[in-house]
Structure 1
Amino acid sequence: MAEIKSTMDLVMERAARIGRASSEELRLEEARKKGIQLAVEYLDGNLENPLTAIKNQENILQGGVLRGLIETLLRNIFLPRDDIQQERTRKAVKGITMLEGGSAEIASICRELTNVLGGYMQHREQLRGQLEEQIMLQYESLMAQQPGMQREGIRIDPTQQPRFKEEWNRLEAELNSQYNKALDQFKQQIGQRLGLG
């Protein structure tokens, strides 16, 4: 809900700005939208190198296009839950490194960011595996305590148990909170160094 409200606030602010915007500000806003569009094309695999697309724009609009590209790429750096999301995040980081113009500082931040994302995926898988094993052992122990119960042929999927789901939601929320803080710091550093303020 907070994200929706945040988006609505942005739309309202933008509408207020457009009402009093000059023609140049409107052109720059259109250039920013073009940058967003180029970022989406890049992330979807329809654009090889976003930097080349920026160079094809009018000089006066390149800054706006770059801003839209960077903003969109940064928004697409998030904690992935699966391989598809991980690939999109990896591609967004790669896009930032293409746009950074050879800055060793940005390249270093992007490497650290990539390491954090990789560490998150490993940590997430490890926690999930440990929880599955723990829940399985608990159910096996409970079954062993039941007199006369046939345990042969009974296969329990720990991930389908309510206790697993509750505990996993709690663990994942804690993990996401920790890693999102680090991720947000890196994204903020990148944004500042690339002129987003």
Structure 2
Amino acid sequence: MAGIKSTMDLVMERAARMGVATPDEMRHEENLKKGMHCTAEFLNGTQPSLLALLEEQEPAQRAAIRKGMLASLLRNLFLPRDDDGTGRLGKAVQGIVELNRDSADISALCRELQTIASQYGQHRTQLYEQLKEQMRMQIEQMLMRKGMKADGMKIDPTMEPQFKDQWARLEMDLDRQYGQALEQFKAQLQEWTGA
């Protein structure tokens, strides 16, 4: 926990840096923020192309704005748990590929990353359904031992505390496995893109 800085610590460090920052450093910081803002608009669907946004900027500012865009895109690479997350990941990958359109290696790495994210989603759904069926069968067996019939009863094993506990453990293990692969992809992309 000691390695995690609070928001106030970060604000204070930034304020200290701003007090000694040169005008060039301050402009660079503003351009990074501008790139991040452009990326937010792109990810939210209000801007169709990051490259077009970048090309609208002054040539002297483009490198810093691009770096801000890439940093923001890399932060949006995560293991998606729903369709919205999958869409956002897809947009982030699209932005990275667009900003590095001359690099076949980056395009290939992004395709691999999307494959891993897709496999994660499939694996997650499969594990969830397997656990759900396993718990449903256990509940039915318990009812039969008590002399009750499960026929016609609507059994929702996901409401059981035992299901929630087991699912939390399975999901944590799955996230750790796929998360390690994702972090490796992100590190490689960061290195190759210069973000």
Taking structure 2 as the reference length, the TM-score comes to 0.93
The equivalent of 2:174 in structure 1 is 175
Secondary structure of the equivalent of 1:5?
Answer: coil
Q: 1:97-143: CA deviations, max 9, x gaps?
A: 00013101111110110110000000000100100011001111111
Change (3 A) 1:166 1:50: same
1:44 and 2:44 aligned: yes
Residues 1:110 and 1:27: Cα distance change in structure 2 (over 3 Å):
same
Secondary structure (helix, strand or coil) at the match of 2:47 reads coil
Deviation larger for 116-125 or 7-16:
7-16
Matches within 5 A, 1:5-20: 5=5, 9-20=9-20
Counterparts in 2 of 1:175 and 1:135: CA distance versus 1, 3 Å: same
What's the counterpart of residue 156 of structure 1? 155
Shift of 1:33: 0.6
4+ residue runs of structure 1 moved beyond 3 angstroms?
Answer: 1-13
Q: Which consecutive unaligned segments of at least 5 residues does structure 1 have? A: none
The letter for the 2-side match of 1:32 is L
Q: CA RMSD in A?
A: 1.8
Aligned residues: 195
C-alpha deviation, 1:15, in angstroms: 2.8
Distance 1:100 1:13, change over 3 A: farther
Matched ranges for 1:26-175 at <5 A: 26-147=26-147, 149-175=148-174
One-letter amino acid of the counterpart of residue 155, structure 2: I
In 2: Cα distance, 1:54 partner to 1:119 partner: 33
Moved more, 12-21 or 103-112: 12-21
Report the Cα distance in structure 2 between the residues aligned to 1:119 and 1:193, rounded to whole angstroms.
24
Distance, in Å, in 2 between the alignment partners of 1:164 and 1:18 is 51
Shift of 1:14: 2.8
Give the CA deviation at 1:5.
3.4
User: 1: CA distance between counterparts of 2:9 and 2:58?
Assistant: 31
Q: Percent identity?
A: 47
Structure 2 CA distance for aligned equivalents of residues 17 and 168 of structure 1? 45
Counterpart amino acid of residue 20 in structure 1: V
Query: What's the offset of the Cα at 1:158?
Result: 1.0
Q: Which runs of 5+ in 2 are unaligned?
A: none
Q: CA distance change for structure 1 residues 89 and 177 in 2, over 3 Å: closer, same or farther?
A: same
Change (3 A) 1:132 1:91: same
- Structure 1 window deviating more from structure 2 (7-16 vs 44-53): it is 7-16
1:18 Cα shift?
A: 1.7
TM-score under structure 1 length normalisation: 0.93
